[in-house]
Structure 1
């Protein structure tokens, strides 16, 4: 049974991801028995999830409501807004709406997943209303750190909602619209029931800054570079990529792109009419053969990702490129909180080679794609919403955004959590219900629950190690041979002494069992497992996972 009836004219907001966290943005709007999804993103796993790269929001609620889902509207092409589509779309199967550049990125993902022929991907133009069930959706162009960033104006019978997506103000954006936008002022004049907005940069009082200013600063900075020049940045920033192309032309250097994401964004940008004055590319296999003062490499890995191009170059693990003393690497990006240790290690690896490393701490080489409070203040003045729901941020961001809205006189606000169903009305915003939420992980090729047994086991093995014991018994429960052990990742477990002591521990535990109990597999497993774990705790302070493999004479084909 659907959560709403067709005559239910309430306006509901339900975040399944992206509220209380940065990443995994997935928001639902409900009205008259129908749901509209805005964005379907992913996040990257941390060290708590060994062997996992990608994390997604659970979508059980909308999977159950898929008959009422009118469409998925994508605000822009960043991974935390589109990255889950190839993995989750089959759970809710609906049309997908995007502007040309974002659609090109999604198309590439769907093709790789074998879903391109199944998904109804609808390319839309900004400012042209789209009728999706009881919703009328209009894309509103905004500046961001990727081409074609948009907010969406969602008109309902009860009023208009404005979902900002990720945005900033930039009076010289290089790519994208100049803000302030008359469209935003027109929205405010017509009336906005609620603004659902980006909170990522709310602790910054000032405006984020202009991409044109970054270009000018980089132009001055690279003039003094005499040898090889590497610039790593967020691959999705088409304006920054265009700047790097212009730097290559201005300095007479051949341009090389390294990293799959860098090529993917370049191809999508060229396909949709961007990077028109971009220099020709040199093949990456030729990069190491060019004179050092005649090459500029643009590469992935500005956050220290282990498999990205700059990390592989730093540890001499790249197929085509090696750096040497006197080369320069510019990290034209923000050091994202939480990545300081990883990046510090990468900076030192490069410094050990005599490479000069330049970061945002050393020079003006990056601007954010998210609004500071000065920009939020202008947005409120233009749009004049009756209420505010902060999204896209950790809990502390959302709380500060709500407080700032109240400071600006917008008293009707609420701090959402994933799973909260919030009613939006002329009276304000209030939580009326909640649904179950959670996280999914991409484990190899399979999408699994984050609390799955394999994940729990892997985490335990990663921390404590693993021991397997193979036991063979005769008809009366007697041991036919010495147990065979496999010890992995346990401190001291590689020594013969440790092996022999564990072996004796298992044998003594089995000898204390009665013959009858030794004929019961469950009893044998429990006794042997407890004995091994108790010994390891006492000797090493670790509590490894333990498997007991039992074979009996009747099981043997001899």
Structure 2
């Protein structure tokens, strides 16, 4: 009997939405040959990761085993699936396989960091396959909100695995391939061991709508507008951008794309042949001189991103264009949970300008790119795998998806990031746990979630900061009183005296009564000064700030 096993290990995307990163392995225990599916990012928020630019999976476990990594496969070109390729590729070094559109985007990611784009290999759709050690992998077309999205057919000596990637069951998606149940059924007809399945919309009880269903609604909205029309959506949703542009063109408006990501996606679509009939666009320099009623801007920033075009327009002016009373701003997108505050801020800024803001609260101008609950049931039945493993979702999504699969007679279990499953038998079995976390891109450097940098930043934001400076002479006597500098704290407290005066007075009294042993030991002195500062601050303003102590000693 073979001792080889088939394993599945999510390092990102399971227990969260975004930052997708999934490992499959086959071989003897702890000697498996490995492949990686997707290498994505998620985005920071000011509450939990202030100042951070991007968040990526912690790939330390995989990096330690990179000599066993055969290849990386990217299912599609959304940032949460391909966004970390440029940042993390050098730590892994395996060839990257993707279809043409996704490969184009991945090469751009590598080029940004001066890496060779030759490591990205373009692969055609199923039935073409890539041999990667014991795995044979093919890209199975499926509709989503970006061109050339694919599930993966992963053949192993232990059986066939289908990894859906992100998907929806759309038979008329406008751009990209339609959902083809016959194709998927033919791949599944000889038996599938495991279906690794998207869980994002498991709580949405109605079947998903086609991308083609919203075009008439958008056209009517644009046609009725009297001022300038501005619309935002996910830059990667090329079909939606095309629908918006065509609506503007039919209304007699010139179309202008604003935002690097949107221009990049359209250019990639045209370059790879995904898009051939996009309406003519005008450069922003020309857009400034076009009458408002004849202009439509398609802009980035549907999620409230502070540096994107939407936010810049909301702040007053962007590329010489200003919105005015009577203009229309359309959010043709769904707000991702966690981004509501930024989106609402932009909406209010536009409202104060007199701009009419239209969102998708009524479901008229946006459809999701993910399968809803009835669509998941259809996928389960079509593939009819021995086991269903939910992925890409928060814990509540994974749990509900597992319950849904079990209710329809399929074996299922929850595997959050770091949970290794053995898929070799007839039911998934937990066979280990791996330390997982996050890697932050902070400016131009990468830091670990446990390095304490972001933690300290949060503490300073919550509690303020005080710098204490003390100079000591050769005899360990203070040269003058300690002095303090405050950041992010109230200037006066309960005593109505300046807080800095209270702090410096209390520190002077402490220095006056400190014993010689304390004054000679920098560590003890620093600890005591920090304690004294926090006690005074707590008494005066009800906070215990972060404290930095600088002790300078004169040497004879």
1:538 and 2:555 matched: no
Question: Helix, strand or coil: the match of 1:204?
Answer: coil
Residue correspondence of structure 1 range 435-450 to structure 2 within 5 A: 435-450=434-449
Q: Is the 8 A contact 1:477 1:516 kept in 2?
A: no
Distance 1:138 1:260 in 2: 32
After superposition, the C-alpha distances for 1:289-346 in whole angstroms (9 at most, x for unaligned) are 3101111100011111111111111121524221000000010001222333332222
1:48 and 2:48 matched: yes
1:26 and 2:25 matched: no
1:139 and 2:134 matched: no
TM-score by length of 2: 0.95
- What is the CA-CA distance between 1:363 and the residue it aligns to? 5.5
Question: Helix, strand or coil: the match of 2:303?
Answer: coil
- What is the CA-CA distance between 1:253 and the residue it aligns to? 1.1
After superposition, the C-alpha distances for 1:249-268 in whole angstroms (9 at most, x for unaligned) are 21121111111211111221
Counterpart of 2:522 in structure 1 is 521
TM-score by length of 1: 0.95
Q: 2:9 aligns with which of 14, 21, 37?
A: 14
- What is the CA-CA distance between 1:8 and the residue it aligns to? 4.5
Q: Is the 8 A contact 1:422 1:432 kept in 2?
A: yes
Counterpart of 1:327 in structure 2 is 327
Counterpart of 1:196 in structure 2 is 196
Distance 1:289 1:500 in 2: 59
Q: Is the 8 A contact 2:141 2:179 kept in 1?
A: no
- What is the CA-CA distance between 1:520 and the residue it aligns to? 2.2
Distance 2:162 2:63 in 1: 25
Residue correspondence of structure 1 range 339-418 to structure 2 within 5 A: 339-362=339-362, 364-410=364-410, 412-418=411-417
- What is the CA-CA distance between 1:383 and the residue it aligns to? 1.1
Residues 1:12 and 1:370: Cα distance change in structure 2 (over 3 Å): same
Residues 1:321 and 1:496: Cα distance change in structure 2 (over 3 Å): farther
Question: Helix, strand or coil: the match of 2:330?
Answer: strand
Q: Is the 8 A contact 1:56 1:84 kept in 2?
A: yes
- What is the CA-CA distance between 1:426 and the residue it aligns to? 4.1
Q: Is the 8 A contact 1:476 1:515 kept in 2?
A: no
Distance 2:273 2:97 in 1: 19
- What is the CA-CA distance between 1:49 and the residue it aligns to? 1.1
Q: Is the 8 A contact 2:242 2:279 kept in 1?
A: no
Counterpart of 1:66 in structure 2 is 66
Distance 2:136 2:312 in 1: 47
Distance 1:401 1:221 in 2: 37
Residues 1:349 and 1:61: Cα distance change in structure 2 (over 3 Å): same
Residues 1:73 and 1:373: Cα distance change in structure 2 (over 3 Å): same
Counterpart of 2:337 in structure 1 is 337
Distance 2:194 2:309 in 1: 43
Distance 1:59 1:150 in 2: 23
Q: Is the 8 A contact 2:160 2:191 kept in 1?
A: yes
Specify every segment of 5 or more residues in structure 1 that has no aligned partner in the other structure, as ranges.
1-6
Deviation larger for 309-318 or 142-151? 309-318
After superposition, the C-alpha distances for 1:537-557 in whole angstroms (9 at most, x for unaligned) are 1111211111111111218xx
Distance 1:137 1:503 in 2: 68
- What is the CA-CA distance between 1:348 and the residue it aligns to? 1.5
Residues 1:551 and 1:206: Cα distance change in structure 2 (over 3 Å): same
Counterpart of 1:166 in structure 2 is 166
After superposition, the C-alpha distances for 1:402-444 in whole angstroms (9 at most, x for unaligned) are 111112221x111111111101134211111111111111111
Q: Is the 8 A contact 1:510 1:524 kept in 2?
A: no
Distance 1:22 1:456 in 2: 23
Q: Is the 8 A contact 2:304 2:342 kept in 1?
A: yes
Distance 2:308 2:427 in 1: 46
Question: Helix, strand or coil: the match of 1:262?
Answer: helix
After superposition, the C-alpha distances for 1:326-379 in whole angstroms (9 at most, x for unaligned) are 000010001222333332222121111111111112460000000012211221
Counterpart of 2:237 in structure 1 is 237
Distance 1:245 1:238 in 2: 10
1:318 and 2:315 matched: no
Distance 1:190 1:253 in 2: 53
After superposition, the C-alpha distances for 1:468-513 in whole angstroms (9 at most, x for unaligned) are 1111111112222233322111122699822211111111111111
Counterpart of 1:466 in structure 2 is 465
- What is the CA-CA distance between 1:116 and the residue it aligns to? 2.3
Counterpart of 1:275 in structure 2 is 275
Deviation larger for 450-459 or 149-158? 450-459
Residue correspondence of structure 1 range 214-225 to structure 2 within 5 A: 214-225=214-225
Q: CA RMSD in A?
A: 1.6
Q: Is the 8 A contact 1:195 1:385 kept in 2?
A: yes
- What is the CA-CA distance between 1:398 and the residue it aligns to? 0.6
Residue correspondence of structure 1 range 493-512 to structure 2 within 5 A: 497-512=498-513
Question: Helix, strand or coil: the match of 1:428?
Answer: coil
Distance 1:74 1:245 in 2: 29
Q: Is the 8 A contact 2:175 2:275 kept in 1?
A: no
Question: Helix, strand or coil: the match of 1:480?
Answer: coil
Paired residues in the alignment total 547
1:109 and 2:104 matched: no
Counterpart of 2:151 in structure 1 is 151
After superposition, the C-alpha distances for 1:516-540 in whole angstroms (9 at most, x for unaligned) are 4313222221221111111111111
Question: Helix, strand or coil: the match of 2:288?
Answer: helix
Deviation beyond 4 Å, 4+ runs, structure 1: 493-496
Residues 1:515 and 1:409: Cα distance change in structure 2 (over 3 Å): closer
Q: Is the 8 A contact 2:387 2:426 kept in 1?
A: no
Q: Is the 8 A contact 1:26 1:81 kept in 2?
A: yes
Deviation larger for 329-338 or 19-28? 329-338
Residues 1:437 and 1:498: Cα distance change in structure 2 (over 3 Å): same
- What is the CA-CA distance between 1:57 and the residue it aligns to? 1.2
